Structure 1
């Protein structure tokens, strides 16, 4: 698959150096642990060893507000185990001033439907909630900006949670990228009446698109146009890649396209058809594609099968081999059958596998066989 957003989110965790952004100027660093902090975390059943191993510097800070953080979360409906998990993952939260935390709660509740949902967001993205008060004005301005675009509140909440940097920076930078996306959409033939829905879907699928320079988008679209993709096809790629086209560059795409064409042995026109069926091919480096092509061919799958169903290249070799073995055990030979059954998520495959099994096990009706009757 395209680079997993979940993997990308790890990059958003604040791996702060000696003085993280959440550390207030008045905080002091001691050579010994703050026992009040340690005792409060113990009382909350927080994994202290995990904190010491990953972010031990937090335990040396003073002042800290461990109990205040716990009370805030508890007041929003968070259970004891949830509070313990949040503080084990993001112990920097205890360094946030109580007034700052309450201000953040009010800010998030302006777009979050209820406190229960906000607790769920904090549990998954604590660094997005427990942030420096110096960013609050930018956060507030960006919320107002995205609301002016008539974006769904849930989309805005998702953006704040998964791509917090886009809300910490000046609103003008987000406006520049949004306008670049809207302009590209319209210039490629997109329907203005559907632009809001298109933009909302794109931002929902790839919140990090806002963090890219608009020039990158322009250069990549020009490169693909030079490769023969029509205006309509470019719009299709921009939408299919969920904005990840902004994370590519002409050099990497050129290498990938050359490798794919040489490996498959196809024309440029045929290669464009393959890309349109599986835009993710543009995204993978040659090393990954080489490994996946080789694995498929070792399984007896022909190149013509791959070109007919190129989306199979989105799956890792381990997943493909596992699914092939399961299908083989049921008598399905991928060397002669369609590769569509291999595609999709684990749930998609299990559904396809179940239907295949059902077809094989359902008894066939023989119209000339005698009917069984009572003796």
Structure 2
């Protein structure tokens, strides 16, 4: 019996393509058809084995069908390989489910090319199936809010869980957001744009409980923030207000107040100017304060331009050194030039350079003769 088993295994090994024996090193528990198909599709089998080797042991699997669906959408061989390498679970999806998913997404996606781009970036969102009825109901609901199809597609890609759950849960959260916005004096005519920006910034806001928003607004109101300031924070922070909680904000506000040595009223002004202070943990703030102080910046300067705390210490130091090379001393000048994205900084840096190189014009100096 043992000899027969050994012979059988030997013959099976000999029938296995050489590239699977040498490169893929097929193990007895793996599905040889899946491994062979993925190899032919140039999928990184070594990476799949390291991160999600269990997928290769499943039977049945539909690697050819998953690849063909992507190709039918216009995906190149490279894209197919990238998708199946990063999300090999796609080969376990039944072809009927995958086809239904494609039709569902195409009902809101402008064209196949954009859908392929979304699948390449968010393969798990497309190949993770949930209740199709819930998905259809949620799509219909968000369309009733006059959100455009592209926005709905981004929501499905960024937070697929919100589309797989009953539509009533999403409706409750959206209504809570809308009510809070209006109660704080928001303009109803601008509410659609505000909601769309919020969902675009953080689609996971839909998975939060409405009570979280209420608790955060109550806490900030108790700290002295007025209605207009709360609306500003809600609009500026958008989904970050949902991600916070009273306890974390209490710690952060207390730490910032102590470090800056300011009053409650001054702290509120600083927060309105830099809402990010509400959600940075104490250890992050401590590192950034320390970095600025080490560069010679005073607390007064930081209070005057608190948005500089939105930058990491590494970025701040890099920008300070570049400015120093041009003769700009942040210790005695405004910190505004440090702020913004990389592009914003380069623009500000370029303006400083122009001011240094542009010759001064003296209106009373005599004109030179030709």
Common topology (TM > 0.5): yes
Query: Aligned to 1:114, which of 111, 114, 118?
Result: 111
Structure richer in helix, relative to its length: 2
C-alpha distance after superposition, 1:163-220 (max 9, x if no partner): 1111111111111100110110111111112211111111111111111111111011
Give structure 1 stretches of 5+ with no counterpart: 1-29
Query: Aligned to 1:138, which of 134, 137, 140?
Result: 134
Partner of 2:234: 238
Question: Is 1:329–2:325 an aligned residue pair?
Answer: yes
1:75-154 alignment, distance < 5 Å:
75-132=72-129, 134-154=130-150
Count of aligned pairs: 343
Deviation at 1:239?
1.1
C-alpha distance after superposition, 1:57-90 (max 9, x if no partner): 0100111111111111111111111111111100
- TM-score calculated relative to the size of structure 1: 0.89
Query: Aligned to 2:49, which of 41, 48, 52?
Result: 52
1:7-86 alignment, distance < 5 Å:
32-86=29-83
Question: Is 1:268–2:264 an aligned residue pair?
Answer: yes
| Aligned-CA RMSD value | 1.3
Question: Is 1:178–2:174 an aligned residue pair?
Answer: yes
Q: Assess if the C-alpha contact under 8 Å between 1:259 and 1:286 holds in 2.
A: yes
Find the aligned partners of 1:91 and 1:347 in 2 and give their Cα distance: 37
Residue aligned with 1:301, SS: coil
Find the aligned partners of 2:44 and 2:369 in 1 and give their Cα distance: 68
Partner of 1:205: 201
Find the aligned partners of 2:158 and 2:235 in 1 and give their Cα distance: 20
Deviation at 1:359?
2.0
C-alpha distance after superposition, 1:278-333 (max 9, x if no partner): 10100011111111111101101111111111011011101100111111111111
Deviation at 1:35?
1.0
Find the aligned partners of 1:158 and 1:256 in 2 and give their Cα distance: 32
- TM-score calculated relative to the size of structure 2: 0.90
Q: Assess if the C-alpha contact under 8 Å between 1:151 and 1:200 holds in 2.
A: yes
Find the aligned partners of 2:29 and 2:295 in 1 and give their Cα distance: 59
Deviation at 1:369?
5.7
Residue aligned with 1:62, SS: coil
Query: Aligned to 1:357, which of 348, 353, 357?
Result: 353
Q: Assess if the C-alpha contact under 8 Å between 1:330 and 1:357 holds in 2.
A: yes
Question: Is 1:196–2:192 an aligned residue pair?
Answer: yes
C-alpha distance after superposition, 1:103-144 (max 9, x if no partner): 111111111111111111001100100022x42111111101
Partner of 2:220: 224
Distance 1:369 1:33, change over 3 A: farther
Distance 1:327 1:369, change over 3 A: farther
